Structure 1
Amino acid sequence: MAIALNSRGGKAQATQVIAKGTGEVAEQILQLAFEHGVKVRSDADLATILSAVEVESEIPLEALTAVANILSYIYRAEQPSAPESSS
């Protein structure tokens, strides 16, 4: 199962499910993500929760903490590494 999320930040735009699928559709979602440099994270429990969310619907409150943790992980991963200081 693969689920794609979109978060534009701010209160006006909540995080939404923009694509989801299993099998071949999931493979296509993952392939597109990799081709476009989108960070991918595997979380079976969260995927199960989000699979019940309709495409173009906002993430339910029950899943917001998990989604926020994933987005935080992705944002940190996208930041350039700080230069190492020599002692």
Structure 2
Amino acid sequence: MQKAVALKYDYTKAPTVVAKGSGQLAEKIMAVAKENNVMLHQSPELVEMLSTLELGEEIPEALYLAVAEIIAFAHSLKETQW
């Protein structure tokens, strides 16, 4: 079954979980992200770990590096589009 987790990062604290779900809810989360030009990253292992967090919860320190690499990659893509 498809799963999705959406993170928010405002540069002041660790990224937080703002949406998560499986099945139809996961599809809706991804559709909203695409509609808003939010980069989607597929990593089943990372989604499994992030889906254990509660809404509004910051990611644990153990995931900082993995999430930081994704954020940095997303920013590099945005810069090449300008």
Q: TM-score, normalised by structure 1?
A: 0.86
Q: CA deviation at 1:80?
A: 2.8
Paired position in structure 2 for 1:85 = none
Asked if 1:16 is matched to 2:13, the reply is no
Structure 2 partner of 1:26? 26
Structure 2 gaps, min length 5: none
Q: Which of the pair has more CA radius of gyration? A: 1
Give matches, 1:1-87, under 5 Å.
1-10=3-12, 13-80=13-80
Q: Which amino acid aligns with 1:49?
A: M
- Write the distance in 1 (CA, Å) between the matches of 2:81 and 2:33: 22
CA distance in 1, matches of 2:57, 2:42: 21
Structure 1 unmatched runs, 5+ = 83-87
Number of equivalences: 80
Question: How far does the alpha carbon of each residue in 1:11-65 deviate from its partner, in whole angstroms, 9 at most, with x for none?
Answer: xx32101000000000000000000111111011111110111110000111111
Give the structure-2-normalised TM-score: 0.91
